[in-house]
Amino acid sequence: MWPLTVPPPLLMLLLCPGLAGQTLFQSPEEGWQLYTSAQAPDGKCICTAVIPAQSTCSRDGRSRELRQLMEKVQNVSQSMEVLELRTYRDLQYVRSMETLMRSLDARLRGADGSLSAKSFQELKDRMTELLPLSLVLEQYKADTRTIVRLREEVRNLSSSLAAIQEEMGAYGYEDLQQRVMALEARLHACAQKLGCGKLTGVSNPITIRAMGSRFGSWMTDTMAPSADSRVWYMDGYYKGRRVLEFRTLGDFIKGQNFIQHLLPQPWAGTGHVVYNGSLFYNKYQSNVVVKYHFRSRSVLVQRSLPGAGYNNTFPYSWGGFSDMDFMVDESGLWAVYTTNQNAGNIVVSRLDPHTLEVMRSWDTGYPKRSAGEAFMICGVLYVTNSHLAGAKVYFAYFTNTSSYEYTDVPFHNQYSHISMLDYNPRERALYTWNNGHQVLYNVTLFHVISTAGDP
């Protein structure tokens, strides 16, 4: 830190050595921070500034692009960690089934007529049921090796980017950009292949806590690494601004170790979601989507969702200003809403999480006022037929084929009034706000693996 003296006017131009003709204005983004200013007796302006590292002076548009690439690689790395954890869990389950198969096979081979015809047939039937799992196990082993290779590529890319960023050069930037894009595409394909399947079951409810009013939402970050177990809590369904951030799930259960965020704009509904460090929510009395960044405590971007109804125009069956519902699954950020043009039917749109622009939309044909709640898993929108007791997952819309089917997946609505239902792909669980209770459900996904001989 050192004092700078410049004559009036007070416009401060900071020149970097060796960059004649280029001017850097004071900017927190670039590392320049003006702390105090005063006027000397001779009329000169005296300013105290914190000067960034010498290498900052050579920053330009290309170096900013490098930083953006670094952020992308970091996001890929976090996604890899989530995917690896989930694949490990699945692999452990399939391996336990393999052990069971070997045990049954040994019993069949060693029967030697000691089993009755009925018992022998039961063992054979059981083996027939488990036989397809051998193909699943081999595929998971191969997929695990793929993840290891991807992780190594991410590590190499991170090292290359860090070295280039240190030198503040631009050599090899286009090649690195292509490698990052290719990695993102491969990771997306991996997530779709490994973690995805058709919803076939919902577990019994697990009540985490009873806290707050009848309506609200609670969630964890779907993109956070496994070490980050923060929980966010938002009580009420309209005009709220207070968000509580608990350090861990255990702290949430005990009601301790939390900080408060006061949103600059109030929310509507309960369809909020936390994704990669930011809260996405519907601004009260508008069809505006707001992206609020927790670490900087600021709104990064907000954008109107074209034609989307708001202010209880097209809510779920329970009302509560639930016109717009934001979701995250294995493939990214989604918005579920309705427009007049779609005659009150549910529209599902894929959003760019950085700009909030609509990337693609689908008209599901299902009337939103007849839906209790909805959630996304693996690009499939699942809709419940009620928010009350006796509810079940009744409708599924497949965005990959633009087709739908009616389903019959029951789940126990223990407290009889669901006002928030959201899927977390990191934990493969449904988060629910049920009449003032924060509840979790595990889900069962049926995963079909095609073998080389399949058409």
> What is 427-452 written as a DSSP string?
TTEEEEEETTEEEEEEEEEE-----T
Alpha carbon distance 361, 344 (integer Å):
15
Cβ pair 372, 419 in contact under 8 A = no
Cβ pair 120, 176 in contact under 8 A = no
pLDDT in the model for residue 69: 67
Determine the average pLDDT of the residues in 56-80. 61
Angle between helices 132-167 and 61-109 (to 10 degrees): 160
Residue 1's pLDDT band, with cuts at 50, 70 and 90, is very low
Of the given ranges (54-58, 90-94, 245-249), which has the lowest mean pLDDT? 54-58
Cβ pair 164, 176 in contact under 8 A = yes
Cβ pair 417, 373 in contact under 8 A = no
Instruction: List Cα–Cα distances, 184 to 69, 337, 424, in angstroms.
Output: 11, 28, 20
Cα 33 to chain centroid distance, Å, stands at 34
Task: Say if residue 376 is exposed, middle or buried (CB neighbours under 10 Å; 0-12, 13-18, 19+).
Answer: buried
Of the given ranges (194-198, 401-405, 440-444), which has the lowest mean pLDDT? 194-198
**What pTM was estimated for this model as a whole?**
0.65
pLDDT digits (tens, 9 = 90+) for 315-367: 999 999 999 999 999 889 999 999 999 989 999 999 999 999 999 999 999 99
pLDDT digits (tens, 9 = 90+) for 321-334: 999 999 999 889 99
Of the given ranges (56-60, 64-68, 327-331), which has the lowest mean pLDDT? 56-60
Name which residue leads in pLDDT, 101 or 32: 101
Name which residue leads in pLDDT, 348 or 428: 348
The pLDDT of residue 42 is above 80: no
Alpha carbon distance 304, 324 (integer Å):
12
Sorted by sequence, the CB contacts under 8 Å of residue 97 that are 6+ apart come out as 130, 133, 137
Residue 115's pLDDT band, with cuts at 50, 70 and 90, is low
Residue 432's pLDDT band, with cuts at 50, 70 and 90, is very high
In one letter, which amino acid is 217?
S
pLDDT digits (tens, 9 = 90+) for 132-160: 666 666 666 677 777 777 777 777 776 76
Determine the average pLDDT of the residues in 254-267. 96
Alpha carbon distance 243, 258 (integer Å):
10
What is the percent of the chain with per-residue pLDDT over 90, rounded to a whole number? 50
81: nearest Cα among 379, 425, 347: 425
Strands 278-283 and 288-293: antiparallel
Question: How many helices (DSSP H) and strands (DSSP E) are in the chain?
Answer: 5, 25
Q: What is the CA radius of gyration of the chain?
A: 27
Cβ pair 358, 351 in contact under 8 A = yes
Q: In 69-180, where do the E strands start and end?
A: none
Tokens of 43: 């009329």
The pLDDT of residue 102 is above 90: no
pLDDT in the model for residue 271: 97
Cβ pair 292, 283 in contact under 8 A = no
Of the given ranges (52-61, 75-84, 382-391), which has the lowest mean pLDDT? 52-61
Using DSSP, state whether 408 is helix, strand or coil: strand
The pLDDT of residue 296 is above 80: yes
pLDDT in the model for residue 153: 73
Determine the average pLDDT of the residues in 436-443. 96
pLDDT in the model for residue 233: 98
376: nearest Cα among 195, 161, 114: 195
What is the percent of the chain with per-residue pLDDT over 70, rounded to a whole number? 63
The pLDDT of residue 110 is above 90: no
Alpha carbon distance 97, 84 (integer Å):
20
